[in-house]
Amino acid sequence: MDMIKVQIISTETIKPSPSTPPHLKTFNLSLFDQSAPPVYVPILLFYSPTDDLKNHRKRWSDHLKKSLSKTLAHFYPFTGQINKDDAFTIDCNDRGATYVEAQIEANMSDVVLNEPEIDMLQRLLPCDPLEKFADPSSRVILAVQVNYFACGGMAIGVCIRHVIVDASATASFVKSWAATASGVNDIDVNGVIYDCTSLFPPQDLTELQQLMENRMKIRQANCVMKRFLFDGSKIAALRNKISMEEKECFYRPTRVEAVSALIWGAAIAMEKTGNIPMHVAVFPVNLRKIMNPVLPELCIGNIYQATMATSTTEKNVKHSNLAGKIHESIKRMKEEYVRKRGEYLNMMIRKNFGWGKPVWVATVLRLNKLAILLDASDGQGIEAWIGLTEEEMTKLEQDPEILAYASFRPSIS
């Protein structure tokens, strides 16, 4: 698969249309934006082959670029750059977003039909999600790569700097661009820009940011990322099993809680005894509907907070115990809304670019001790992208509990 040729056809800059007005030239970064990991948030959307796309590529290319330009008029900070003189702001100077088109000398099925390899998927992105630059102000905030397969299929890769988006904001942007491209006019973009600095005032986090960059380097080392598919029926069985493990368990865990408990339990089992005093799992929680007053659903920025669940160092912890801890940690952040967090990136598949629903949505971010959960295509199962060291990944692939509920070489159907 590594031999598949990816030929860059063109690279250009897409600017917002209309241009950003003078009074909107500065976007303020909040404390949560400043503390975001120094990475891009990547997403890939795959579309089935069509004769129209294959035979009229130029028309569709122009249409995508025009609709992107219109969308960027509402998401104008994405076309700016971090202010060199004031790291707390983005200079919305309409520098533009990078737009790349590439020809893939293979059919789409050759890339995604069997186990998709993350190295190949990364070649469909406009940049390395973990790319580093000496000067943060030189980093482009938004980059797009449109990949045309020989069969007529297509994959759209989007990378946005984490400093200005969380998973929900990334979904909002893709959802809005898709709606504009397909001619849907019912998207209310009035709440895209929201100044959160009054809620989360910025601070000088120079030392913390340096610490995060150093930790990111460590988490990249000797890390492999693989995709595990948890079928909807097996998740249902897992949820039943967890809810029946202990008589005092009075609730049935959600899909995300059940799968998270399973993965967390496997991670605990492979830890060396006495290595750490306790095990911690961290979960991001969207704050948009938790705040009072409620914040706009589409607003950009990092408007989330991490909640932590802790467990003892015992290796044979019951899944019901772990699921309960996860449940309680999320409940502290208003569970009734937070439990939807697994749908953040999946929001985008409800709209389309004119070619129907994507056949597959993937994320490409390789970091150790990271698990990204996405809805499977049927809406019942879960795809888990898990990053571990090679030694730990081998153990995970042999874990009997994981093997009972997941397949780790699943095809894309």
The rounded mean pLDDT for the chain is 83
User: Each residue of 101-123: b (16+ CB within 10 Å) or e?
Assistant: bbebebbbebbbeeebbbebbbb
Give the best-scoring range by mean pLDDT among 202-216, 263-277, 315-329.
315-329
- Judged by average pLDDT, the poorest of 93-97, 306-310, 390-394 is 306-310
DSSP labels, 153-173: -EEEEEEEETTTB-HHHHHHH
Mean pLDDT of 245-250: 62
Q: How confident is the model at residue 216 (pLDDT cuts 50, 70, 90)?
A: low
227 or 186: which leads in pLDDT? 227
Range 157-162 average pLDDT: 95
pLDDT at 161: 93
CB-based contact 241:257 (threshold 8 Å): no
- Sorting pLDDT into bands at 50, 70 and 90, what band is 219? low
pLDDT at residue 254 tops 70: yes
If one compares 24 and 198, the residue with the highest pLDDT of the two is 24
Burial class (CB in 10 A: 0-12, 13-18, 19+), 230: buried
More confident of the two residues 50 and 251 = 50
**Domains of the chain: which residue ranges?**
6-181, 223-343+368-407
Residues near 319 by beta carbon (within 8 Å), at least 6 away in sequence: 238, 241, 242, 245, 258, 261, 262, 265, 401
Query: What confidence score (pLDDT) does residue 250 get?
Result: 64
Asked if 47 and 359 count as a contact pair (C-beta separation under 8 A), the reply is yes
Predicted pLDDT of residue 263 = 94
CA atoms of 17 and 36, how far apart (whole Å): 29
The model's pLDDT over 54-105, given as tens digits with 9 standing for 90+, comes to: 888 899 999 999 999 999 999 999 999 988 766 789 999 999 999 999 999 9
Residue 169 has which token pair? 């904001």
Least confident span in 33-37, 236-240, 322-326 = 33-37
């939807």: which residue's tokens?
340
Q: What is the rounded distance in angstroms from the CA atom of residue 156 to the CA atom of residue 361?
A: 10
Comparing 149 with 304, the larger pLDDT belongs to: 149
Closest CA to 45 of 131, 176, 146: 146
pLDDT of residue 233 exceeding 80:
yes
- What is the tens place of the pLDDT at every residue in 337-379? 433 433 333 333 334 766 667 778 887 788 888 888 988 888 8
Q: Do 15 and 94 form a contact (C-beta atoms < 8 A)?
A: yes
Tokens at residue 256, please? Answer: 């995300």
Per CATH, 6-181 and 223-343+368-407 having the same topology is answered yes
Give pLDDT, residue 236: 95
Of 298, 302, 285, the residue nearest 199 (C-alpha): 302
Nearest by Cα to 136 from 172, 86, 178, 96: 86
Among the residue ranges 192-206, 250-264, 271-285, the one predicted with the least confidence is 271-285
pLDDT at position 260, please? Answer: 94
CATH homologous superfamily of 223-343+368-407: Chloramphenicol acetyltransferase-like domain (3.30.559.10)
Share of the chain above pLDDT 70, in %: 82
Instruction: Supply the pTM of this predicted model.
Output: 0.84
Average pLDDT over residues 26-51: 89
d(CA 178, CA 185): 11
Tokens (6 digits) for 7: 């030929």
- pLDDT at residue number 63: 94
pLDDT of residue 9: 95
Per-residue pLDDT, averaged over 175-197, amounts to 83
Please give the average per-residue pLDDT across 159-181, as a whole number: 93
Residue 133's pLDDT is 45
Q: Tell me what the mean pLDDT of segment 196-209 comes to.
A: 77
CA gyration radius for the chain? 21
pLDDT at residue number 410: 66
CATH architecture group of domain 6-181: 2-Layer Sandwich (3.30)
Answer yes or no: is pLDDT of 180 > 70: yes
Please state, as a whole number, how many other Cβ atoms lie within 10 Å of the Cβ of residue 333: 20
Q: Which residue has the higher pLDDT, 375 or 15?
A: 15
